């Protein structure tokens, strides 16, 4: 599914008159959140080692590594960064050979013994959804969660800002401008010699004197911050996430059962 397809669904649900034209930020945020909840996004990235080089960049968005392996050779053993430092200190890491161990630290992967040749190391990992994408890298079972998550984000952000009338104040000046429209108005000079007061004649013989420079608050009205659409879509989003996690856990249990039966 592409970003344009998500936008089409969102516009169909909120209406084209909403003023929303871009949902890129909302989609990116939802994809990150979904893939932070569980290991929904997994991938394999290949690191080609360099002779006499220990450290390499981790794959983008990596959360955790399942395993590192050299094709046709076998798995690298997972170690701690302190193990790596000990190997450096005692000199065993510097003995050039095929890497046997790996460790992670601050976005880097360390392999030792230091490579004596170029090896293709496959990193099997769970991660966050990539920030740069053309098609969303999650299956169709995630579509409804994405839609509801984007809607919740829109009602918290873009749409909330468009709809809210938070602490909107109406002053005497505002009221006068409305009342005097198409009415008879005369101006009186006040004691200071400035024409600040207007006598307004309206229907039913009503007359009143209002200071046109009066910004005193006459009325306040607010947009309810507990806008129901926010909680509605947030709850639907969380319900979809719960279903996805349950399905993932069932899939993992099925794999474990099949593995034990081998």
Q: What does pLDDT average to over the chain?
A: 82
Among the listed residues 77, 41, 36, the one whose alpha carbon sits nearest the alpha carbon of residue 59: 41
Average pLDDT over residues 187-205: 49
* Per-residue model confidence as pLDDT tens digits over 46-80: 999 999 999 999 999 999 999 999 988 999 999 99
> What DSSP character marks residue 252?
H
Residue 72, pLDDT score: 84
> Residues of the chain with pLDDT > 70: what percent?
70
Residue 258, pLDDT score: 46
- Residue 132 pLDDT more than 80? yes
Residue 157, pLDDT score: 86
> Residues of the chain with pLDDT > 90: what percent?
61
Element of type H or E holding 25: helix 24-37
Among the listed residues 56, 51, 43, the one whose alpha carbon sits nearest the alpha carbon of residue 111: 56
Backbone angles phi, psi at 210, to 5 degrees: -130, 135
Q: Which residues of 24-46 are buried (b: 16+ CB within 10 A; e: fewer)?
A: eebbbebbebbbeeeebbeeeee
- Residue 253 pLDDT more than 80? no
Q: Quote the pTM value.
A: 0.71
Number of helical H runs and strand E runs in the chain: 7, 13
- CA 235 to each of CA 18, 151, 222, 261: distance values in angstroms, whole numbers, following the listed order: 22, 11, 25, 39
The tokens of 78 are what? 């997972």
Residue 25, pLDDT score: 95
- Residue 256 pLDDT more than 70? no
Residue 204, pLDDT score: 52
């Amino acid at each position: 599914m592409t970003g344009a397809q998500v936008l089409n669904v969102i516009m169909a649900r909120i209406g084209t008159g909403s003023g929303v034209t871009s949902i890129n930020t909302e989609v990116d945020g939802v994809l990150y959140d979904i893939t932070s909840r569980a290991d929904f996004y997994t991938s394999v990235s290949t690191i080609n080692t360099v002779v006499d080089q220990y450290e390499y960049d981790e794959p983008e968005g990596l959360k955790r590594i399942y395993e590192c392996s050299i094709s046709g050779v076998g798995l690298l053993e997972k170690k701690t960064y302190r193990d790596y430092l000990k190997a450096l200190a005692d000199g065993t890491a510097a003995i050039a050979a095929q890497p046997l161990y790996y460790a992670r630290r601050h976005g880097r992967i360390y392999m030792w013994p230091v490579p004596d040749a170029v090896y293709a190391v496959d990193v099997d990992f769970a991660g966050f959804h990539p920030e740069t994408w053309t098609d969303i890298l999650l299956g169709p079972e995630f579509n409804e969660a994405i839609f509801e998550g984007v809607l919740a984000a829109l009602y918290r952000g873009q749409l909330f800002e468009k709809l809210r009338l938070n602490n909107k104040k109406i002053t005497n000046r505002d009221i006068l401008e409305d009342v005097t429209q198409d009415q008879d108005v005369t101006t009186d000079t006040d004691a200071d010699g400035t024409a600040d007061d207007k006598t307004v004649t309206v229907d039913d013989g009503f007359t009143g004197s209002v200071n046109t420079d009066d910004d005193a608050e006459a009325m306040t009205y607010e947009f309810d911050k507990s806008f129901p659409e926010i909680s509605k879509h947030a709850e639907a989003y969380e319900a979809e996430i719960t279903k996805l996690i349950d399905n993932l856990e069932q899939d993992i249990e099925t794999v474990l059962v099949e593995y034990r039966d081998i």
